Amino acid sequence: MARRRMIYEGKAKVLFEGPEPGTLVQYFKDDATAFNNKKKGTITGKGVLNNRISEYLMNRLNEIGVPTHFIRRLNMREQLVREVEIIPIEVVIRNVAAGSIATRFGIAEGTPLPRSIVEYYYKNDELNDPMVSEEHITAFGWATIQEIDEIIALSLRINDYLSGLFLGIGIKLVDFKLEFGRLWHESGDMQIVLADEISPDNCRLWDAKTNEKLDKDRFRRDMGNVEGAYQEVARRLGILPEAGPADAPAPDTVQ
């Protein structure tokens, strides 16, 4: 394939110029970081699995009418996406207490929350991604009130849909992080779309029966078998990379 111009290198992905204007190629690396880059490592095969898992979930979301930047997967590690203007906010949606919310409020990990909670963090590594409110987001001009309303509506819809999808394969969607972008149409209209990726790197996924962690916490907390956990998520979704797209088995549903 022709060499492409690199646009941006992040911790787990690289963005290259796409084949047509308004497109980018998103390349998934095996690199993993945690605690704002303080912990670094490699999870063999992670990029391939996350590319597949994110493709699958973005396709399902597109099917139910959630607009995303995803166009199509190109190969084992790359996908074609629409170029969007990323809103510098990480949106975290929580169903069960874990990680920072458990620590911050002294809630035992695994406690179901009374309702889904949406939080915002300002994307800024130097500042350690501080938590922010809608007031900060609008006052500092990161997004408008209308954009935040759209982001909340999309986030809750995505949460409802993905919670059901994962429960169907015996997985609890504990929490996850989303990023959104502005997609500019030729008409001049702007649309808020889901961007980035959805994978075990940015979701907490627990086995519904045993609460076994099937996500990046295995890396953050040195629990071992990180790749195996990501593979298990892909296997239950019916999309292990070994199976070609044509003969991919149907999702492994759990009664």
Q: Which of 31, 109, 129, 207 binds ligand UDP (CB under 6 A)?
A: 129
Report CA Rg, the chain.
Answer: 18
Q: How far is the CB of 109 from ligand UDP (least distance, A)?
A: 10
Q: How far is the CB of 45 from ligand UDP (least distance, A)?
A: 19
Q: Which is nearer to ligand UDP, 99 or 238 (CB)?
A: 99
Q: How far is the CB of 91 from ligand UDP (least distance, A)?
A: 9
Query: Which secondary structure element, helix H or strand E, spans residue 138, and what is its range?
Result: helix 134-139
Q: Which is nearer to ligand UDP, 82 or 218 (CB)?
A: 218
Angle formed at CA 236 by CA 233 and CA 240, multiple of 5 degrees: 75
Q: How far is the CB of 35 from ligand UDP (least distance, A)?
A: 7
Residues 6+ apart with CB under 8 A from 7: 15, 16, 17, 24
Contact string 4-23 vs ligand UDP (x = CB under 6 A): --------------------
Show contacts with ligand UDP in window 73-102 (CB under 6 A). Answer: 90, 92, 99-101
Q: Which is nearer to ligand UDP, 77 or 216 (CB)?
A: 216
* C-beta separation of 15 from 26 below 8 A: yes
Residue 191: strand pairing partners: 183
CB burial string 230-253: b at 16+ within 10 A, e below: bbbbbbbbebbeeeeeeebeeeee
- Tokens found for residue 15: 């963005």
Show contacts with ligand UDP in window 163-222 (CB under 6 A). Answer: 175-177, 202-204, 216
Give the binding-site size for ligand UDP (rule: CB under 6 A): 13
Q: How far is the CB of 112 from ligand UDP (least distance, A)?
A: 15
Q: Give the count of beta carbons closer than 10 Å to the beta carbon of residue 91.
A: 21
φ and ψ at residue 220, rounded to 5 degrees: -55, -40
Q: Which is nearer to ligand UDP, 101 or 226 (CB)?
A: 101
Residues lying near ligand UDP in the complex (CB under 6 A) are found at: 90, 92, 99-101, 129, 175-177, 202-204, 216
